[in-house]
């Protein structure tokens, strides 16, 4: 992995929007104790890609400000996530929905939560689809009980690969 990281950092100007931020960050997120040097290198790549206009990298780079690598700066992370969500990044849209529904960083707002769940579901985000299925099944988030819609959302969630 270090060889690939070194090559990517060398070629960074050409690869800033190539989507490598997510693929390099994912294994570090899953690691019990990620290597600090690898975190720093991936963070530099994500920051550069975000600066170059990659909305997904903007969302991924926000994770570094929400505890990844020990930094806790939600006041810096939240605007990045809002921008990424507005640009159509499904994970950022789901994060916004979750925070608006019950998260600790944004004020609870069921209408805003529903808006962001629907945005993420429109991009086939599995967790958003599952949440909407449950909300229609139980009449949550201000929605009426609608088992037909709940079943539709469940079927779409089941079809998702991740």
Q: Are residues 161 and 123 in the same domain?
A: yes
Do residues 23 and 63 share a domain? yes
Describe the crossing of helices 36-51 and 20-30 by its angle, rounded to 10 degrees.
Answer: 150
Query: How many domains is the chain partitioned into structurally?
Result: 2
Residues 153 and 96 in one domain: yes
Q: CA 43 → CA 25, 78, 88, distances in Å?
A: 8, 17, 21
* Domain limit, last residue, from 45, 64, 80: 80
pLDDT score at 161: 75
Q: From 26, 53, 80, give the residue that closes a domain.
A: 80
Q: Which two tokens stand for residue 121?
A: 């579901």
What is the mean pLDDT for each group of 10 consecutive residues in the chain (162 residues)? 52 54 93 93 95 96 93 97 98 98 95 98 98 98 98 97 68
- Same domain for 105 and 48: no
User: pLDDT per residue over 75-98, tens digit each?
Assistant: 999 999 999 999 999 999 999 999
Which pLDDT does position 17 carry in this prediction? 45
β-pair partners for 116: none
Is the domain of 51 the same as that of 117?
A: no
pLDDT at 1: 56
Domain containing 107 equals 88-162
Residue 2's pLDDT is 58
Read off the pTM: 0.87
Based on the domain organization, do 18 and 69 belong to the same domain?
yes
Same structural domain for residues 45 and 114?
A: no
Question: What are the tens digits of pLDDT across the range 31-48?
Answer: 999 999 999 999 999 999
Whether 1 and 74 map to the same domain: the answer is yes
d(C-alpha 84, C-alpha 113), whole Å = 16
User: In which element (H, E) is residue 76 found?
Assistant: helix 74-86
pLDDT of 19 reads 74
Give the pLDDT of residue 15: 47
If asked whether residues 23 and 75 sit together in one domain, one would say yes
Task: Examine the domain organization and report whether 13 and 72 are in the same domain.
Answer: yes
Residues 96 and 154 in one domain: yes
Q: Is 53 left (phi over 0), alpha (psi -120 to 50) or beta?
A: left
Residues 34 and 72 in one domain: yes
**Sequence-distant (≥ 6) Cβ neighbours of residue 14 within 8 angstroms:** none
Domain end residue (candidates: 80, 102, 119): 80
**Cα gap 74→99, rounded to integer Å:** 12
Using the 8-state DSSP alphabet, how is residue 66 labeled? B
């Amino acid at each position: 992995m270090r060889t690939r990281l070194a090559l990517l950092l060398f070629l960074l100007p050409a690869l800033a929007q190539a989507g490598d931020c997510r693929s390099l960050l994912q294994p570090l997120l899953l690691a019990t104790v990620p290597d600090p040097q690898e975190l720093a290198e991936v963070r530099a790549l994500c920051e550069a890609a975000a600066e170059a206009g990659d909305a997904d990298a903007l969302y991924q780079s926000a994770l570094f400000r929400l505890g990844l690598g020990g930094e806790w700066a939600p006041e810096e992370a939240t605007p990045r996530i809002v921008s990424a969500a507005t640009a159509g990044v499904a994970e950022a849209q789901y994060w916004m929905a979750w925070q608006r529904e019950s998260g600790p960083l944004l004020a609870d707002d069921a209408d805003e939560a529903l808006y962001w769940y629907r945005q993420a579901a429109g991009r086939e985000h599995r967790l958003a689809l599952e949440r909407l299925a449950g909300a229609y099944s139980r009449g949550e988030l201000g929605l009426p009980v609608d088992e037909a819609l709940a079943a539709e959302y469940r079927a779409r969630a089941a079809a998702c690969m991740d």
